[in-house]
Amino acid sequence: MKKLVLAAVAVVSLGAGASHAQVPIDPASHAAIASILTWAPDEQSSGYRTIETIFKTHTIKRGKTVHPLPVAARQIEPTFTYDGKTWTIDDYMKAYRVSGLLVLKDGRIVLEKYGLGRKPSDRWTSFSVAKSVTSTLVGAAIQDGKIKSLNDPVTRYIPDLKGSAYEGVSVRQMLMMSSGVKWNEDYTDPKSDVAQAGGSVTEPGINPMVSYLRKLPRANPPGAKFNYNTGETDLVGVLVSKATGETLAQYASEKIWKPYGMEQDAIWMTDPGGQERGGCCISMTLRDYARVGLFIAGGGVANGKPIVPPTWVAEATRRQIDNGIPGGGYGYFWWIRPNQSYEAVGIFGQSVTTFSDQHLIVVQNAAWPKATGKELSAARNAMLEAVKAATKGS
């Protein structure tokens, strides 16, 4: 029980900052007025598919070719026991408002199902799954020589942070959520940092998140303690844009979407300063989420060309710091599970989970009734274990 509680606490924060930096296209729209964290079920099932019609976004453009995802001859039909009863995948999807579930075994689709009225061509928002994409773009910028080293100070790339508590903080420490800068991620508290940060441009010419974060005090030495901070993941997005001279959407298109062969353009939500949010809200199709998983599992190589340094994926998806979850940990914006798989996770049921030893990737998109909770996570874990069992030996 303690493990479940700790895991739930960790996951609660995965997209907590998603509401403060929304920029509505039509401020009078009901969905835009409400925080994305408090949408009603019908607003979720519609809005998660059509974020670009509600909030301001940039487009991650796809290329001319599509990376194939062949369908395996044998499809799986997992069943599992959870909460005292037997579940089919259809039962699970209906009960937990899952809009898409896709399983890849050895690069082949062995299960693909949709719900909540979603079609295969429909995108779905990622919430904090975006953090793991931002981490990958850091790796790409290192490969390109735009970021010289993970040991570089963040102030080298964001000079506006000079003289703040970020003096002496490295890029690596940012990716490990261990800057040491004081930050309150409690989004149930309207006075918390996550509720107030980056909501408007307060200093013209300076990104609103940079403006807010550079005024915060220090709580711990850099690298000493994990403290989940959604604002800093947005800050890393700013860092990548500063280092490369490109928007995150442009760079993601150049480094992942076009060379790897995503099937559809993706959408990335922007903040009030017009910067894509490094910590949240990329919308893509279910199959493109699977392709992101494959790209990482393959070492970050596209068309035979390394997009990230040779050791990047191994380092990013390995425990770099203790995050309080027994047997787990945190890499570079990737969560390390107690069973040594790794995953990108977002609130309301978004996840890309990779079991490297089984060449297995499981993607879920959902509209959970609340951001997270130990029962929701336990049900998802039961489904994952059933999928593992159904594909074992195949």
Structural domains present in the chain: 2-130+245-391 (3.40.710.10)
Query: What SS3 state is found at 368?
Result: coil
Whether 14 shows a pLDDT value over 60: the answer reads no
> Is the pLDDT confidence value at 243 over 60?
yes
What does the pLDDT read at residue 295? 98
pLDDT over threshold 80, residue 21: no
Give yes or no for residue 297 having a pLDDT over 60: yes
**Average of per-residue pLDDT across 352-379:** 96
**Ranges 14-23, 225-234, 241-250, 373-382: which has the least confidence:** 14-23
Q: Number of H helices and number of E strands within the chain?
A: 14, 15
Q: CA-to-CA distance for 95 and 188, rounded, in angstroms?
A: 26
User: Are 351 and 127 a contacting pair, CB within 8 Å?
Assistant: no
For residue 20, the model assigns a pLDDT of 56
User: Distance between CA 141 and CA 101 in Å, rounded?
Assistant: 31
What digits encode the pLDDT tens for the residues 143-152?
999 999 999 9
Separation of alpha carbons 110 and 369, rounded Å: 28
Instruction: List residues bridging with 345 in a β-sheet.
Output: 351
In the prediction, which pLDDT does 233 show? 95
Predicted pLDDT of residue 279: 94
Which band of pLDDT confidence, cut at 50, 70 and 90, is reported for residue 7?
very low
Nearest Cα neighbor of 20 from 152, 240, 163, 192 is 192
> 352: helix, coil or strand?
strand
Kindly report which listed range (53-62, 125-134, 179-188) carries the lowest average pLDDT score.
179-188
Among 138, 367, 122, residue whose Cα is nearest residue 266 = 122
Cα gap 188→207, rounded to integer Å? 25
- How many other C-beta atoms are found inside a 10 Å radius of the C-beta of residue 392? 10
Please determine, for residue 123, whether its predicted confidence score (pLDDT) is greater than 90.
Answer: yes
Paired with 71 in beta bridges are 109
Where are the strands (E) in 51-183, listed by range? 57-60, 79-82, 85-88, 98-105, 108-114, 124-125
Q: Is the pLDDT of residue 10 over 50?
A: no
Q: Is the pLDDT of residue 96 over 90?
A: yes
Q: CA-to-CA distance for 12 and 335, rounded, in angstroms? A: 13
> Please, which residues bridge with residue 242 across strands?
none
Please state, rounded to an integer, the average pLDDT across all residues of the chain: 93
Number of C-alpha atoms within 13 angstroms, CB side, residue 296? Answer: 32
State pTM to two decimals.
0.94
Distance CA 255, CA 309 (A): 13
Predicted pLDDT of residue 187:
61
